[in-house]
Each structure stands twice: as structure tokens, then as C-alpha cells.
Chains A and B, each alone.
Chain A
Amino acid sequence: MKLTESLALALKNIVSSKVRTLLTMLGIIIGVAAAIVIVGLGNGLEQYVTDSFSDLGTNTLTVTVMSRGSTRSLDAEDMYELVEENSQYLDLCSPTVPMMGYVKIGSETVDSTTSQGVSEDYFAIAGLEVASGRGLQYSDMATRSKVCVIGAYLNQAYFGGNAVGETLRVGGQSLTVVGVLAQQGDTPEEGGSDDCLYLPYTTAERISGEASSYTITMQSEDYIDQSVAALEAALYEVFQSDSYYTVTSMAEMLETMTSMINILVGVLAGIAAISLVVGGIGIMNIMLVSVTERTREIGIRKSLGAKERYIMQQFVIEAAATSALGGIIGILFGDGLSAVATTVIARISEESITVAPTLGAVALAFGISVGIGILFGYLPAKKAARLNPIDALHYD
């Protein structure tokens, strides 16, 4: 007897008892759907984090100096020199000075805007483009000019798209808008990546104090280890202690974030796997009942010449087909749920995370569900195959 015939027989049996089959498959359906959504969500999160980091560039390093308490200090000029000295690894450098005060436009106060003092190289480092007007220039730094470049949100929401030449106030300082950045998000939103403002770091230092954080790019991503080592060595030389500075690479942070997401996804997928095992036990349970119910059928088949392995084959394939069908339904269900999750996430938060199941996850889920059917179908099938034909024939 061929496998295809056993399969046809199994499908016939599955179709003839739809409700029972559906109930049997429920555990597998839920398990597979959950696994697919979780893996999809994990992939979406990872993609989201990767995208966010690559906006900043994975070849950037962040140096934070905490000179409070130390008798030694390091200012922006020193840092520029330090970068220059290690120019075989390092490329551009920009201090970043966070501005605490709100942005005031006319009589309105905008409290959502992220304002930073940066150097003329910052736009190249962060991959920002100027859509109209000009960016910041070296002369702005040198003369501490009272100018700024704003994001698309402020431009559209408060200046009707014609911000260049207008003035606004940050931390009590009046600044002239000289440029507007190109839009980054899908729609410029309050508090989003387009709600930003950049001014010369020298101007910012006057309002908020000395720069303590620097964003530095490397010549190449391959130089992470050398760059970090060179910067740490130079900073140690200045401070004579490693407790006054930290050097972080975006790539390392990305790695840390990714591995954290992976652990999270792993734990959740483990929970989904438990559901699959429970589903498998459900299949075994129903198959055992089915063997008892079909004792007479087994006896008839045996009396007509079915060998033990055919009976075995029939029951194992039926279990495998049931759980494979459950797997397919679970995959479709999981895909649907992923699409719903994507829409819901987009609606309730400003970030968009695409919950996309990978082909690998789908194939694995299908494989596991077939495997579970075979594994948990084996015992009942063995029981069926071993039945004594005489007893089975007289079973009522």
C-alpha cells in the first residue's frame, strides 16, 4: 500500500469528522499561530531597532565625558584634536549639547521639540539633509552665531513652510532660522523625528554649559575595536582614571539591543512551544480514543490482509495529517494576526513596526507540527497495529 493511499484515507477520515478534527487541531493551531506572530514581532522589533540605529549610522561612536569631580577637564577643542590625532581610524566629530529650555515661537511655547547644539559636521554624521536654506557652518561655530536649523515639523506647524529668515527663542536666546531639514518620517509629527532644532554648539554652550557628549564617526565600521581602544587610551591619558568617560559604539549598542530582543523572543517562542506540545498530547489523546472506536475497523482490515505496518502507517499518517492541517491553519491564522498586529501598533503608537513572519519561521512551524503528529501519533498507531484480529472483529 502506497503512502499516498494512506494519505487519501487519512484525509477522508479527517473530513468525515470535522468538529472533532478541529478540536484536536486547536492546540496546534494556537501554538503555530502564536509562534509565528511572536517570531514576526521579534523580527519587526529587530528591524525597527536596526533602522533607528542606522539613521544615526552604525559607524558612529559616542563619547560621554563626566569631568565633574575631576581636577582635569576636556573641552570641545581638545576632543577635536584627539580625533585629528587618530585620523587613521576616526573621521568626523561633533559635540552634542542638549538644550533644556522650551522653544518659543512668537507667543507660543513648544515643549515637544528636541533641541541640540551641534557642529557643522553633525548633519553629515546623522545623515540629515537640508531641504531649504543652509546648514550650520564652521563660521557659525567660530562666531557663536545666533542661528538654527529646524526640522520639518516646526517649519510646517508654526511657520507655514517658510521658516527661513524667521526668528524663535530657545532657552531665552533669540535665534534666526537659516535652514529647514528634509522630512524624515512619513508625516511630520509632534515629538517625532521631524520635531527637532539644531544650533551651533558654541552658542549652545553659552546657554547650557560645556559640551560633555560627542558623536564621532569612524573611517570604516571595521575599525570599531581600534577606534574605541584609541579613544579610551587618549581619554585615560587626560583623566588618569577610567571613571570620567565612556566610549560607546552604535554597533555594540545595536548588538546588545538585538540580543535582548532575541532573548525576549526566545522566551515567548518557548511558551508557544509548550502550547505545541500540549497540542500534540491532545492529538495523542484523540488518536487513542479513535483506535478504541475503530477497533472493529482494524479487525476487519486485518482479516482482509492488512499487515501491522499498514495499520500503523494509516494511523501515524492520520495523526500527522491532522497536525499538519492544524499547522497550515495556524500559519494562515498567524499571518492574519501579524497583519492585524502591524495595523494596531501603527495606530496606537507613532512608531511603525512591521510584524512580518519569515519564510523560515513558517517552514519550521509547519515542520514541527508534522513532527509532533508523527511523534504523538506513534503510540496510538502502535496500539492499533498490535490489536489481535479475532478480538478486534468481535469488539462492539
Chain B
Amino acid sequence: MNPLIEFQQVCKYYQMGETTVVAADHISFQIYKGELVAIVGSSGSGKSTCMNIIGCLDVPTQGTYLLKGQDVGQMNKNQLAEVRNQLLGFIFQQYNLLPKLNLVENVEIPLMYAGVSKRERRERARAALEEVGLGEKWRHKPMELSGGQQQRVSIARALVGHPAVILADEPTGALDSRTGREVLGMLQDLHRQGHTVVLITHDNSIAVQAQRIIRLEDGQVVYDGPSNAPEAVVTPRAAGGGSL
């Protein structure tokens, strides 16, 4: 079986004035269909760069990123937009719903850019809202909802286009722990239904909810394995004597 996401020696360099910042340093990993993977690391570890590259918002400076076997590095802006639209579903920390649109209008945005007819996308968006338990509130504006509810709307928006990968960037970061657990539970449900979910977080207690953890540090992969192994949650340096 071919991997769904494959990083081959992916590097990303940023030019900050005179100095070159290495955000990703020869990162390689593979994620298969149906996995729930947490990419974890502190700030500056390169996890945001990874998330941008996986999400086709950015392309590697060096190395190859294959998404469903397609080389993303070779794509132009339009093709990247198409890939984001067809293959990826984003869940952001700040929900990123459009405040002037109501829920169903928010959820149907990906379908609009996919060229789905107005009637069909309305039906599908309503169905996706049903799935996250907000079917009744479809006329409401995002600001009339609680944080947890808004994040559920953004999950519905991520699901509506039937993407190959659901990419969740700190999905619980703005929520209290109880609603955070709820949202996390929903992501686990999606995983059980067969969706591929990539979770990006700095929080070990969130990361351990995934089956597999890829830990990044200074732009490099320092651990890639099951989440129940002790090395998964402890940084090698911390294990060597330092505290976290």
C-alpha cells in the first residue's frame, strides 16, 4: 500500500534578513490511509512548517512531498489550491469561520470552490452540520455559538468535501479542557470511521490520544512511533537529565 502522505528529506529554509533559518531539516516520514497521527513539538520545532507543507499552503525548499503519490513541490498555485480543495480538510485553532456568513454558508465554502451546484452543496453542508450535532442551528452566525460549537462547525466544513486528509492545527488550543476533550473525541470518532487525521499540537496530553506520534525538535524528527511508548512523550534531552 502506498502511503497517503510521504515526506522525503523535506527541508524548508527561510531567509530572515542576513541569516537563514532552517525550519525543517531533512524530515522524512510516511502516513498511511486511516491513521491518526499527532505531530508534536514545542514552538520553533518546525511543526507549523510541517503543517503548512502537508496542507499545501507552502512547498518544500528541498526534498519531496508526495500527497496521494502526487509531487506537491512541482505544482503551481492553482494546482495547490485545487489540492487543498479536493484532498485536504483544515481545522484551525481559531476556528477561522467567516463571521458574516451563517453556519451553512460557512460549511459550503469548499464545495463552492469545487464548483458544486448551489442545491447540492446546501444539502451536503446541512448534512455535515447534522453530523456534528448542529443541524438545527444552521441559520446562526458563528459568533452566536460557543467555542466548542464553532470548532464543530469547522470540523463540518473540513468534512464536507470528503477530503483524503483532515489536518487539525491545535484544534483544542482555544478551548477549555472539557470541550477540548469533546472535540478530540470527535476526531477519534472520525479516525474510527476510517478518516486519516493529522493532529498538530504542542501538548503531550493531547498527542497521546493519537495512535502514533511524530515528535519534532529543531526541525528534525526525534521520535516516530506508537504513542504508548515512554519515549513518545519525553524529549531525549529531558530523558538525559534535564527537565521539560
Contacts and interface: CB of A to CB of B under 8 A. Distances in A.
Contacts of B110: 304-305
A338 to B, nearest CB: 38
A305 B85 contact: yes
Interface in B92-144: 92, 96-98, 100, 109-110, 112-115, 118
Interface in B169-219: none
B98 A300 contact: yes
B115 A12 contact: no
B90 A389 contact: no
Given A13-B100, A390-B57, A390-B58, A305 B77 contact: no
Contacts of A296: 96
Interface stretch (A155-163, A234-242, A306-314): A306-314
Contacts of A299: 96
Contacts of B55: 303
B77 A308 contact: yes
Contact of A303 (B77, B84, B115): B84
Nearest to B83: A305
B100 A12 contact: yes
A111 B57 CA distance: 89
B122 to A, nearest CB: 12
A384 to B, nearest CB: 14
Contacts of B57: 302-303, 389-390, 393
A310 B113 contact: yes
A71 interface: no
B100 A307 contact: no
Given A1-B112, A1-B113, A1-B115, A304 B85 contact: yes
B113 A393 contact: no
A300 B96 contact: yes
A302 B92 CA distance: 14
B96 A5 contact: no
B149 interface: no
Contact of A306 (B81, B97, B157): B81
B113 A307 contact: yes
B100 A305 contact: no
A297 interface: yes
Given A304-B157, A307-B77, A393 B115 contact: no
Contacts of A304: 84-85, 90, 109-110, 113, 157
Q: In the complex, which range does the number of interface residues on chain B fall in?
A: 20 to 34
B173 to A, nearest CB: 13
Given A16-B100, A296-B96, A390-B58, A303 B113 contact: no
A69 B169 CA distance: 104
A301 interface: yes
Interface string A283-301: 0000000000000110111
A371 to B, nearest CB: 28
Q: For A1, A296, A297, A303, which residue has the most chain B Cβ atoms within 10 angstroms?
A: A303
Nearest to B51: A390
Nearest to B112: A1
A300 B52 CA distance: 13
B20 interface: no
B96 A393 contact: yes
Contact of A5 (B97, B112, B161): B112
A294 B196 CA distance: 31
Nearest to A310: B113
Interface in B58-87: 58, 77-78, 81-82, 84-86
A393 B170 CA distance: 14
B81 A297 contact: no
A327 to B, nearest CB: 25
Contact of B52 (A1, A302, A306, A390): A390
A389 B55 CA distance: 11
Nearest to B160: A304
B115 to A, nearest CB: 7
A13 B99 CA distance: 12
Q: For A12, A16, A296, A300, which residue has the most chain B Cβ atoms within 10 angstroms?
A: A300
Nearest to B158: A304
B82 A305 contact: yes
Nearest to A15: B100
A308 B78 contact: yes
A9 to B, nearest CB: 9
7 contacts: A1-B113, A304-B85, A305-B84, A305-B110, A307-B78, A307-B81, A393-B92
Given A1-B112, A305-B81, 10 more contacts: A13-B100, A16-B100, A296-B96, A297-B98, A300-B97, A303-B96, A304-B84, A304-B157, A305-B85, A306-B81
6 shortest A-B CB distances, which residue pairs?
A305-B85, A305-B113, A307-B81, A305-B84, A300-B96, A304-B110
